[in-house]
Amino acid sequence: MRLYIVFLFFAISLQAQSDPSGPINLQATPQNFLRAMAIENPNSRQVDTLIQLSISYSFTNEDSSVILGVRSVEISKDHDDRGIHAKALLELGDTYRIFGDIPKGEELILEGRAIYQSLEDEGQVAYANNKLGAVAVNKADYNQAVQYYLSALETWEKLKDSSNLTNPYINLGDAFWRLGQPDKAEEYTNKALQIAEALKQDQPRMFALNNQGLNLKALAESYAYIADTISAGAQLYKDSVHLFYDKALQNFEKAYALAQKLNNKQSAMRHLINMATIKEGKAEYPEALELTKQAEILSKDLGDVLLMVLIKRNLTSLYRQTGQLSKAITYGEEALQLAQENELPGYVAGVSDQLYQIYKQTGQYDKALKNLEQYKSYQVNTLDTEKVKAIAEIEEKYQTVQKEKQILTQQNEILELEKSNAKIARQRNLYTGSAGLLVLLGYLGFQINRIRRERNDKKAFAEALIYAQEEDRKRIARDLHDGVGQSLLLIKKQLESSHNVTLENQTMISNTLEEVRSISRDLHPFQLEKFGLTATINDMVEKVGKASDLFITKDIEMVDGQLSEKAEINVFRTVQEALSNIIKHAEATAAKVTIHQKEGAIHLKIQDNGKGFDHELAVIKSKSLGLRTMYERISSIGGKLKIEKGSPKGTVIDIHVPISKKSN
């Protein structure tokens, strides 16, 4: 009787709220599950309620989420509102994707998108593309994922739908991170975080913070690799490892707090795993174990096989590193069995490698050999697959080249016919003009050689002048740092040990010391010798952004070791002068620095959205000392510098510098 009353009340409440403007939000509870499953002949809003409840269960219970999703598809199939059926298909497809059935999930999402396309609903088509991007990520097709996400982003920007913009930005950050492009990943993730903060969206904030943490973690691991492979200066990189690990951990902790606030257990579990990997990277194994065990408890409730395998594999590694080998074996065998049952070859290989090392350590060589064979088999199969792909790519390129050769041959035959017809006519005129031409060529050759000598002399003088200036700057900077700077540092230490010193004196000495250091850094960028051109330009761009109102972004590839020391200092000074000109003269609000390596050269682009030039470019080149110095610097290292007006406004500076060996 009580259950009947509950159902009656629920049905009346749903019928009373027939407005299709939005779903009735329900929590994932057994009572609400029963209520939702009892719906018959629903209106659009009731179907949407069922869909939302299915989404809520996707964070806590796979079976309930799928049952509700299937039910929402069934009862909306013959509904007058085709859009609600498309939505049911999309969300059920996403549920299948989340829990590992990628082909089924993709099929349903494509079916839902087709309905939205027929309805010409651009916003929902973008929503479907965003979900298809996630499918592509699960299939490790990250380039396809980027295309889907960019398509969704473009549509929502066109529709000025700011509430949905955070999703593709977050997803693009994740995709570029997986593609090994951390700068682009950081750029899109930061945009997502800015929008989420402005709109006070907790869930996008959580995902953006997690992605930022992954970027910082990757950066820490790259510094750790450098520290392990060099001898001189390794401590500096180790300090960077700890710094970025700590920053990453702070991001994961904030994301975990938001996951708890949102009661999103699946995301909370992922953040716990990420926090544990940071602790493991810092060799804080007890803390890493505690966090991973917390994630294990959550994984039992959610039933996410991929995460369960990952957690068991991580526990295998942690128990092995802490000497608890029997527990390591238990978790390793469980992880291996789960990975094999669910056909996860990458996880099978990773766990097999762990078990091989453990069994070898415990003297169980037969089991060690078995796991080693599994690991090697995966490597061979992977290499074979990559080899087949490589051969296919080479063959495709070969066929393209052959077609191009065939076209070129035909074009050459046509040209030869035209040449033979014109040859007779040219010969008639050739003999009569040859004598006069020889005299003219002789005179022109003399003039050209004279001009070339003068130009080369001026170029050599300019290069020598620039080089002498840099050497003087370097000497003065060293004298300031090693002489005046050290003396001030000694005075500061003596004052700190004195009981009579005042706070004002301490502050004055500290400020003076910092000013000397700043002047020294500006005179000569010693970071070039210590950290390389890439890090030095990155640091300069960040400092310019912090010290001015200019919103400056960057897309800088690693170009260390590609240029001579002379070329590096000239490139650095040119970028420095360009940014200085933007701040002083451009009246710009935004700028971007791009550095890429392609076709045997380093390509740099500095662009802004300022007022541009008021005069002709040729006049500016001749009268501006700063611009002339930029031209001379790039010309002296065999490069080319071009300045153009931006579109629709601003200025674009293009620089091409040929790659040269690292030498003085």
Q: What is the DSSP string of 156-182?
A: HHHTT-HHHHHHHHHHHHHHHHHTT-H
The pLDDT assigned to 153 comes to: 86
How far CA 493 is from CA of 503, 520, 597, in Å, comes to 13, 21, 46
Reported as a pLDDT band with limits 50, 70 and 90, residue 122 is very high
Q: What is the mean pLDDT of residues 562-588?
A: 86
What three-state secondary structure class fits 69?
helix
Q: Which residue has the higher pLDDT, 3 or 131?
A: 131
In the chain, residues under CATH classification 3.30.565.10 are 532-658
The pLDDT assigned to 140 comes to: 82
Reported as a pLDDT band with limits 50, 70 and 90, residue 219 is confident
The pLDDT assigned to 395 comes to: 40
Mean pLDDT across the chain: 76
The pLDDT assigned to 622 comes to: 43
User: CA angle, 579 as apex, 216 and 616 as ends, to 5°?
Assistant: 145
The pLDDT assigned to 605 comes to: 93
- pLDDT reading at 143 higher than 80: yes
The pLDDT assigned to 434 comes to: 58
C-alpha 107/C-alpha 99 separation (Å) is 15
- pLDDT reading at 149 higher than 50: yes
Residues 6+ apart with CB under 8 A from 520: 477, 478, 480, 481, 485, 526
Question: What's at 373, amino acid-wise?
Answer: E
What three-state secondary structure class fits 616?
coil
Question: 612: which strand partners?
Answer: none
Q: Quick one: angle between helices 122-138 and 162-178, nearest 10?
A: 20
The pLDDT assigned to 410 comes to: 60
- pLDDT reading at 523 higher than 60: no
Q: What is the mean pLDDT of residues 190-198?
A: 85
- pLDDT reading at 301 higher than 80: no
- pLDDT reading at 443 higher than 60: no
Contact 72, 107 (CB under 8 A): no
Contact 594, 604 (CB under 8 A): yes
C-alpha 151/C-alpha 126 separation (Å) is 7
C-alpha 67/C-alpha 54 separation (Å) is 8
Which of 5-19, 216-230, 543-557 bottoms out in mean pLDDT, i.e. has the lowest?
Answer: 5-19
The pLDDT assigned to 11 comes to: 35
At 608, list the tokens.
């802004």
For 532-658, give the CATH class. alpha beta
The pLDDT assigned to 24 comes to: 46
Question: What's at 252, amino acid-wise?
Answer: F
C-alpha 318/C-alpha 143 separation (Å) is 34
User: CA angle, 598 as apex, 592 and 604 as ends, to 5°?
Assistant: 25
Helix intervals (H) in 77-181 = 82-98, 102-118, 122-138, 142-158, 162-178
C-alpha 110/C-alpha 132 separation (Å) is 8
Buried b (16+ CB within 10 A) or exposed e, 197-229: eeeebebbbbbbbbbbbbbbbebbeebbeebee
Q: Which residue has the higher pLDDT, 211 or 415?
A: 211
The pLDDT assigned to 477 comes to: 53
Query: Mind listing the pLDDT tens digit for each residue in 84-116?
Result: 999 989 999 998 888 888 899 999 999 999 999
Identify the DSSP state of 624: -
Reported as a pLDDT band with limits 50, 70 and 90, residue 568 is confident
Highest-confidence segment of 252-261, 501-510, 523-532: 252-261
C-alpha 271/C-alpha 188 separation (Å) is 20
How far CA 578 is from CA of 501, 584, 636, 637, in Å, comes to 44, 10, 17, 18
Handedness of CA 332, 334, 337, 342 (dihedral sign): negative
Length reported for the chain: 664
Residues 6+ apart with CB under 8 A from 37: 67, 68, 71
At 377, list the tokens.
């088999």
- pLDDT reading at 625 higher than 70: no
Which of 18-22, 120-124, 215-219, 290-294 bottoms out in mean pLDDT, i.e. has the lowest?
Answer: 18-22
The pLDDT assigned to 604 comes to: 93
Contact 138, 164 (CB under 8 A): no
Reported as a pLDDT band with limits 50, 70 and 90, residue 249 is very high
**Residue listed under structure tokens 């790659």:** 659
The pLDDT assigned to 4 comes to: 34
Identify the DSSP state of 23: P
Contact 136, 144 (CB under 8 A): yes
Strand 551-556 versus strand 590-598 pairing type: parallel
Query: Mind listing the pLDDT tens digit for each residue in 346-403?
Result: 778 888 888 888 988 888 888 888 888 877 776 655 444 444 444 344 344 434 444 5
The pLDDT assigned to 126 comes to: 92
> Cα 583 to chain center, whole Å?
28
Reported as a pLDDT band with limits 50, 70 and 90, residue 35 is confident
Q: Quick one: angle between helices 142-158 and 122-138, nearest 10?
A: 160
Reported as a pLDDT band with limits 50, 70 and 90, residue 476 is low
Buried b (16+ CB within 10 A) or exposed e, 433-445: eeeeeeeeeeeee
At 188, list the tokens.
């899109």
Question: What's at 604, amino acid-wise?
Answer: L
Q: Quick one: angle between helices 265-281 and 285-302, nearest 10?
A: 160
The pLDDT assigned to 170 comes to: 84
How far CA 597 is from CA of 230, 560, 605, 630, in Å, comes to 25, 10, 12, 20
Which of 3-12, 192-201, 617-626 bottoms out in mean pLDDT, i.e. has the lowest?
Answer: 3-12
Question: What's at 661, amino acid-wise?
Answer: K
Indicate the helix (H) or strand (E) that contains 470.
Answer: helix 365-479
**Residue 263 CA neighbour count, 13 Å, CB half:** 9
- pLDDT reading at 47 higher than 60: yes
At 49, list the tokens.
């309620």
The pLDDT assigned to 542 comes to: 86
